[in-house]
Amino acid sequence: MTGGTVAGSATLCVHGGTPPDPQTGALVPPLVQSTTYAWPDLDHPPAITYARAGNATVEALERRLAALEGGGDAVCFGSGLAAIDAVLRSLPDGARVVAGRHLYGGTTRLIRRLHASRLRVDEVDSTDAGLLEAALGSPADLVLVETPSNPTLRITDLRRGARAAHAAGALFAVDNTFLTPLYQRPLDLDADLSIHSTTKYLDGHDATLGGAVVVHERHAGKGDSPTGPLAARLRWIRKASGSVLAPFEAWLTLQGSKTLHLRTREQWATAARIAAVARDHPAVGRVHYPGLAAHPGHSVHRGQATGDGGIVALDLGDIESAREFVSALRVFTIAENLGATESIATHPASMTHADLAPERRREDGITDGLVRLSAGVEDPGDLEADVAQALDLARRQRREVVA
């Protein structure tokens, strides 16, 4: 692709932000693996002087992510949590943050343990639009939500959330990791920030750690400055804190993003099949999946997203049943990640959300029997059969124990 306006998301996955290299014509963006850059003389510094201040490969990834999200700018970081940390660091001391109750466990830990002493933090169940609007009846500086949430896939109404946040004078930030820009574009719904752990679907191969903040056009700005537009402030924070994304990680993520539309199409379809199997299985007490009509917030979700995602969470009742189920899986791998080509089973209570108090986990539906499944790109029939046989075995073993 050499020019013109491109609207198709699949085309943006392959070409967005990365025209052929002007020097060599290379279709794959060059990997610029350098920490420092030569100055012609003391009066004429280069555009980039040092790796913390920028990198051409990272900037190529930023352009692609901004194109996919329909944003005005993007800033990449060393991890998804580093991206959220930078957003929080951009707030002044004493700022009020309204944080969704159903956030990734690492995000909750970051807010509570590293920022609560500097910021005023109120946790609110953002999936209840009335509660969120009530919390924003007084001024705020930032609202941070995640939808669908990790791991119970709770849904927050992004249009109403953005309106309420802006009425309170706050930025509205959305963790969009689970659906990717292909199936949900928060900035189009008037959010200010769309945040990603690029480690997940955007990379898609269990190969890199990274994060990104894509900002609405009204917050875009070049360079890095502690007092400039939000994008410039985030770059300055990245430079000052050293929370940079490595060039090789950015290069791999660029390559992974080229197949995002192909991978997720298969993963979404497989997840729907798994959800249907689990919904009708006697070993499962509850299925969490936004594509099911009975899922809380289903209609809101369908009104703001164009896909249901590749994650299904199954509540098997207790830790013993969860342990038996994951141990019986043959194609899924037990691990702490999601969105990869490999199918992964995660036990949130002992893995991703272990830092939350047990009573808090139970209140949020993260029971000891909850297992999160991330559908990969293996044969859908193999994955469906794997879940079915593991559920059958777990149920038989539990019935034998009870008997």
- Do 28 and 160 lie in one domain? The reply is yes
- Distance separating alpha carbons of residues 159 and 304, to the nearest angstrom: 8
Q: How many domains does the chain have?
A: 2
The mean pLDDT of 271-284, rounded to a whole number, is: 97
**What average pLDDT does the segment 206-233 reach?**
97
Last residue of a domain, one of 209, 232, 257: 257
CATH number of the domain encompassing residue 237? 3.40.640.10
Q: pLDDT confidence of 288, banded at 50, 70, 90?
A: very high
Report whether 224 contacts 86 (CB < 8 A): no
41 in a structural domain: yes
Distance in angstroms (rounded) separating the CA atoms of residues 204 and 344:
12
The boundaries of the domain holding residue 299 are 260-402
For 287, the enclosing helix (H) or strand (E) is strand 286-288
Token duo for residue 155: 């849904």
Whether residue 22 is contained in a domain is answered as: yes
Active-site entry in 21, 37, 52, 318:
52
Is residue 13 scored above 50 in pLDDT? Answer: yes
- 83 and 32 housed in the same domain: yes
pLDDT at 397 over 90: no
Residue 297 φ/ψ, nearest 5 degrees: 85, 10
Q: What percent of the chain has pLDDT over 90?
A: 95
In the predicted model, is pLDDT for residue 7 greater than 90?
no
Closest CA to 335 of 345, 348, 349: 345
Amino acid identity, position 283: A
DSSP helix/strand/coil, 25: coil
Beta strands in 171-256 (DSSP E): 171-175, 193-197, 211-215
Task: Examine residue 195 and state whether it is found in any structural domain, yes or no.
Answer: yes
Question: Which contacts qualify for 301-306: CB closer than 8 Å, 24 or more apart?
Answer: 301/147, 301/148, 301/155, 304/157, 304/158, 304/159, 304/184, 304/189, 305/179, 305/183, 305/184, 306/182, 306/183, 306/184
Assess if residue 2 is contained within a domain.
no
User: Which pLDDT belongs to residue 145?
Assistant: 98
In this prediction, residues 75-88 reach a mean pLDDT of 98
143, 170 contact by CB (below 8 A): yes
CATH at 334? 3.90.1150.10
Instruction: Tell me: do 304 and 329 sit in the same domain.
Output: yes
Residues 211 and 293 in one domain: no
Q: pLDDT tier at 3 (50, 70, 90 boundaries)?
A: very low
| 289 lies in the same domain as 160 | no
As a whole number, mean pLDDT of residues 369-389 equals: 98
Could you tell me if residue 60 is inside a domain? yes
- In order of 45, 113, 225, 271, 360, the CA distances from 355 in angstroms are 46, 11, 35, 27, 10
Residue 273 and residue 246 in one domain: no
**In this structure, are 59 and 194 located in the same domain?**
yes
Q: What is the mean pLDDT of residues 39-56?
A: 95
Q: Same structural domain for residues 373 and 271?
A: yes
pLDDT surpasses 50 at 153: yes
What pLDDT, on the 0 to 100 scale, is given for residue 398? 67
Active site residue 50: no
Does residue 222 share a domain with residue 270? no
The stretch 387-391 carries a mean pLDDT of 97
Question: Quick one: tokens of 379?
Answer: 């044969």
What is the DSSP-derived secondary structure letter of residue 177? T
Task: Note the pLDDT of residue 302.
Answer: 97
Please return the burial class of 117, using the count of CB atoms within 10 Å of its CB with bins 0-12, 13-18 and 19+.
Answer: exposed
- Summarize the confidence of residues 191-216 as an average pLDDT: 98
**∠68-76-126 over CA atoms, to 5°?**
70
Distances (CA, A) of 380 to 236, 265, 312: 45, 12, 14
The one catalytic residue in 73, 85, 157, 175 is 175
Mean pLDDT of 52-66: 97
143 and 13 housed in the same domain: yes
Q: Is 239 a catalytic residue?
A: no
Could you confirm whether 183 is annotated as catalytic? no
Let me know whether 264 and 250 are in one domain.
no
Per the domain annotation, does 317 fall within a domain?
yes
Residue 333 lies in a domain: yes
The answer to whether residue 84 scores a pLDDT higher than 80 is: yes
Question: Among 208, 241, 257, which residue terminates a domain?
Answer: 257
Number of Cβ atoms within 10 Å of the Cβ of 68: 25
Is position 1 within any domain? no
**pLDDT higher than threshold 90 for residue 249:** yes
Q: State yes or no: is 372 an active-site residue.
A: no
- pLDDT of 5 reads 55
Q: Is the pLDDT of residue 51 over 80?
A: yes
pLDDT, tens digit (0-9, with 9 covering 90-100), for 22-46: 989 999 999 999 999 999 999 999 9
The pLDDT value recorded for residue 6 is: 53
Q: What is the mean pLDDT of the chain?
A: 95
Give yes or no: residues 271 and 225 share one domain: no
The active-site residue, picked from 73, 85, 96, 104, is 104
Asked whether residue 164 carries a pLDDT value surpassing 90, the answer given is yes
Phi, psi of 252 (to 5 degrees): -65, -40
The answer to whether the beta carbons of residues 201 and 264 sit under 8 Å apart is: yes
Q: Taking residues 286-308, what's their average pLDDT?
A: 98
How many CB atoms are located within 10 Å of the residue 176 CB?
27
Higher-pLDDT residue of 7, 233 = 233
The pLDDT of residue 202 is above 70? yes
Position 395 confidence tier, pLDDT thresholds 50, 70, 90: confident
Instruction: Give the domain-ending residue among 228, 257, 286.
Output: 257
CA distance 151 to 349: 10
Q: Which of 89, 200, 258, 395 is catalytic?
A: 200
